Structures are given as structure tokens and as C-alpha cells.
Amino acid sequence: MRRTVVLLLLVPVLAAAACAGDESAAPATSSSVADESAATTTTSSVASASVVDGPGRYEMRLESSGAVRRYVVHVPEALPDRAPLVIVLHGFTGSPEDAERLTDMHVIGEEEGFVTVYPAARGLVPAWRADRAAEDDADVRFVRDLVDAVAGELSVDRGRVFVAGMSNGGGMVDRLACEAADLIAAAGPVAGAFSDGECRTAQAVPMIAFHGTGDWIVPFYGFGGVLPSVPAWAADWSERNGCDRPVPPRSITDDVAEYTWEGCAAEMVLIVVEGGGHGWPGSTEASERGNSTMSVSASAMIWEFFSGSS
């Protein structure tokens, strides 16, 4: 009952964020999102052969868990053999196009030679089922099917599949790291709306997370029994990753600090933006809403972390 009441209290916040055009608001739960069947068509999938028809941007569809799911693929001009694959998940009410504009991860992919995929969440109000305790595993299955589809058409290294995401998408990154640790080589949530449920695996996954202390949509110190404190969440992942103890934080810029742990089986890094709001650090789009920092680039730091984890 307490969880239901708290979620109802969150509804005005979610509505306000959505009306303001913030595609990266805190996550809706499966009970508050319309059934996917209402928003999904039964059109045939885009021919997968189009992906391998040279470099470029491709809008694709595949059937997963009985629904047709959409995603956008960016193939770099110089695609190396066994290229890394980076999946970027948009925020609550968002879309692949929103994630493209917000992160520009595909621009780095063009320079560094990795394939970038931006998947779409389900629902009339798109949202990822990010709750670790959720019985609905269709989004986890979709990501697995997505990797299979891309790997079936392009020369990607299945040992270098990385996932990043914003807000509700960041929460889904956390769930994937818990439930698909065999698939994910490293994870990078930004302003993640994490679950307070138990992780279903103890497997270590390299993790770099970003969060602002002034985030009012996904508060840095948590929200009741729904959103955990980010420092507590990071400490939990450091324990799961086999770390011994935290080391003193390192100042990256005047408003950004890096928190790390030592003795880890898999690295855990928390980047804290002092006074930072609900945004993607380094994104011009985010900064125009006045809710992020331009002193670091989350996209560049995430890729640096990913490339060093493989």
C-alpha cells in the first residue's frame, strides 16, 4: 500500500515533466502505462538487409514478445570487423530520436567505429519497465532480441555490447545489468531512476553512473520507498562488483566529482554534478533547459569507460 500511495503522489510530477517536454522525466510503472498492444501495429518488419546496405542511419523493426518494436541503427562509415555495439535508452515519454539529439552517441560511434542503436520503449506514454521486481520482462527480452538482430546483420563483437540510458532509460540500464549481465559488458546510466528492489544476480558489471545533486525529478538522495538514494545505490553496486572500499573523491571540474572504489572485480564509478539537475552532462539540448552541466561530456566519458572495460 505504501508503494502505491507514493506512486500516486509522483503522478503530478511526472505529468508536469511530460507537459514541459522533458523526455527524461522519472519513470512510470507498468500499471500507469497503456498496454503496448494499443500502440503497436502489426506492420511487417523493415527488411534487415537494409542495415548492411552501407553506412548510415536506419529505422528498423522487429517482433519481440509478440509485439513489433522499433529501433534506430547508426552504422559508421568505417565499420571494423567485430565492432562494439552501444545501445542508448531514452527517458520517460521519449523516443529514439530524443536520445539521438540528447546524447549524440552515434557521432562518437562514427569517429570511434562502433554501431549505435537507439531502441523505443513501449506504450502510448513510452516507458521502460525498469523495476527490478517487475514480472514483465518484455523489455529485457527486447534488448536481447535486438542484439541478436543487429549481430545477425553486422559484424559486431557480442563480448562488447554496452548499454547507456537517461532517467527511466537509466533505470532500465540498471535492470539490464541485473538481469542480462551475461549480455552487457558495461553500463552507463545518467540521472537514472533506479529501483529499490533486489538485483536478481550477483554477477559483476562495470558501471559508470552520472547524477546531479540538484535533480528534482529523480532526487539524488532518493524518494521514499520508490527511488533509492544514488550514493546508496552506487555503494550497493560496488559491493556487487567486489570492491573493497571507497577512495577519496577526485575533482574533475569545479562542479563535477568522481567517486570510485578500489579492489573491484568490475569497476564502479559515480560522477556527481554539484547542483546539477535532470540532464545529460555535455548535451547542448539539455543545457538549453538549464538542467545540466557543460563542463564534462557524459557521452565521451561513457565511451571512454566502455572502451576501457572490454
pLDDT tens string 204-245: 999 999 999 999 999 999 998 889 999 999 999 999 999 999
Q: What is the DSSP letter of 122?
A: B
CB 197 within 8 A of CB 175: no
CB 73 within 8 A of CB 150: yes
Domains in the chain (CATH in brackets) are: 2-309 (3.40.50.1820)
The pTM score is 0.85
| Position 288 confidence tier, pLDDT thresholds 50, 70, 90 | low
For β-strands 156-166 and 207-212, DSSP reports them as unpaired
pLDDT digits (tens, 9 = 90+) for 247-267: 999 999 999 999 999 999 999
- The pLDDT, as a whole number, for residue 200 is 79
- The pLDDT, as a whole number, for residue 112 is 97
> DSSP per residue over 197-246, as a string?
SPPS------EEEEEETT-TTTTTT-BTTTB--HHHHHHHHHHHTT--EE
Separation CA 169–CA 176 (nearest Å): 10
Separation CA 294–CA 281 (nearest Å): 6
